[in-house]
Structure formats: structure tokens, C-alpha cells
Amino acid sequence: MLARLTLGCVLAGSLLLSACAEDTSVDPPPAPEAEPIEEEAPEEAPEASALIRPLDDSGVEGLITFQTTNGGVQVTYALAGLTPGAHGFHVHENGDCDPGDDGTPGGAAGGHFAPQEDPHGAPSAEAGQRHVGDFGNIEAGADGRASGTFVDALIAFEGDNSIIDRAVVVHAEADDLESQPSGNAGARVGCGVVRSMASMQQNLPPGHPPIN
């Protein structure tokens, strides 16, 4: 009997001990080491941008920014309110998103920006085989959003190929990249005029801090 009790006490004791040991392991875990803040290179302010607004209550809106980079001008777009799928995307001749004389939404923007009067084509086509304004297509997901970036070798911020004060137009349908004169991309559903940041600084109301 005594032996049993002793054994029982030892067992209980060891259980207690192990319980105690477990207890110590329940201490709050050490705070995770603070993640080092990733230092991103400060993004250079874009040189130009176009605020896209809906045409004919399409609901299409977004922002396009332009920045000189290696090999041309980097175009970064973020749009919403599109139908899923591909949409023609071009720089048009005039910086005007008003209806055309015939009432066509966005018609005042005119045709594709084509200072050398080249044929319509794919953005990958050589100079001379595409309009300067031919950006091809952007692809909207099921949520109606389209975003991405590409580099265009032809557009510029000055000279014959300058896109400043011209309109960027988003279309209802896909640009087939070959039909003349504009890829058969359907109605104009979004439009915004490319403004240089320099001109935007000049147009700020008095006392407004400069835009970076």
C-alpha cells in the first residue's frame, strides 16, 4: 500500500512537474521581429498624365501616367468600369473629349494621332507601319478593371510625336490591330487629355503647394 501511494505521489508529482513545464512554455511567444521596411526607390513623378472620364455614362474611369524611360516612354494605366475583355486604347489627335459635330461621344478627339499619316497598326509594328497613337489593347478582368504598364518607342513629350494636350481614348471593343483607319474598336467609352506635369504646376490656384 505504501509503495502504491509513493508511486502515486511520484506520478502525481511528475504530472505536476510536467504541467509546470508546460506552463512555462505557454509564456507569450516572443514578439516577432519587426519586418524591415522595404525601401523602395522613390518613384519619380510622372512627366504627364491623363485622367480618364466616362463618355456617354459608360462608367469608365481611371488614370494614365507617362514617364521617360529606357527605350521610350513608359505608359502606366489603371482603369475601372470596363466590360471584361480587350479594349482598343489609343492617343487621338485632339485634346478634346467632347461629342463630335454629329453627337458621337468623344468624337471631338478626332482620329488616331498619326503625325506621319502612317496606316493603323499594332503597337509592336515598326515606325511607319502604325499610328504614333496606336497603343493596341488593354485587357479588363471580370471585375472591369484593367491595369498595367508598357513602354512605347514612338510617343514623346515634345516635337512631332508629342502626346501632350492630346486625348487618350478607351474603346468599347477590341482593336483588331489591322482594320483601317482605326482597328474597328467600336464606341469611345473613356477619354482624358494628356497634360504635362509642368503645365499642371502652372495651372494650380495661387498658394497651392507644388505637385510632386
List contacts with Zn ion (CB under 5 A): 112, 120, 131, 134
Of 130, 184, 142, 152, give the one whose Cα is nearest residue 77: 152
Which residue, 169 or 197, is less far from Cu ion as judged by CB? 169
Candidates 43, 75, 71; CA nearest to 192 is 75
- Residue 169 interaction partner, one of Zn ion, Cu ion, none, beta carbon < 5-8 Å per kind: Cu ion
Q: How far is the CB of 103 from Zn ion (least distance, A)?
A: 23
Q: Are 194 and 95 in contact (CB under 8 A)?
A: yes
For Cu ion, which residue of 169, 172, 174, 191 counts as binding (CB under 5 A)? Answer: 169
- Cβ of residue 185: shortest distance to Zn ion, in angstroms? 9
Binder among 87, 90, 131, 166 for Cu ion (CB under 5 A) = 90
Binding status of residue 120 toward Cu ion by CB under 5 A: no
Output 90 or 130, the one with its CB closest to Cu ion: 90
Q: Write out the three cell numbers for 23.
A: 506552463
Residue with cell 510632386: 212
Question: How many chain residues are in contact with Cu ion, going by CB under 5 A?
Answer: 2
Least distance from Zn ion to the Cβ atom of residue 49, Å: 22
Tell me how far, at minimum, the Cβ of 88 lies from Cu ion, in Å: 5
Q: Which is nearer to Zn ion, 120 or 188 (CB)?
A: 120
CB of 155 to Zn ion, least distance (A): 13
Q: Which does 166 bind (CB under 5 to 8 A by kind): Zn ion, Cu ion, none?
A: none
Site residues (CB under 5 A) for Cu ion?
Answer: 90, 169
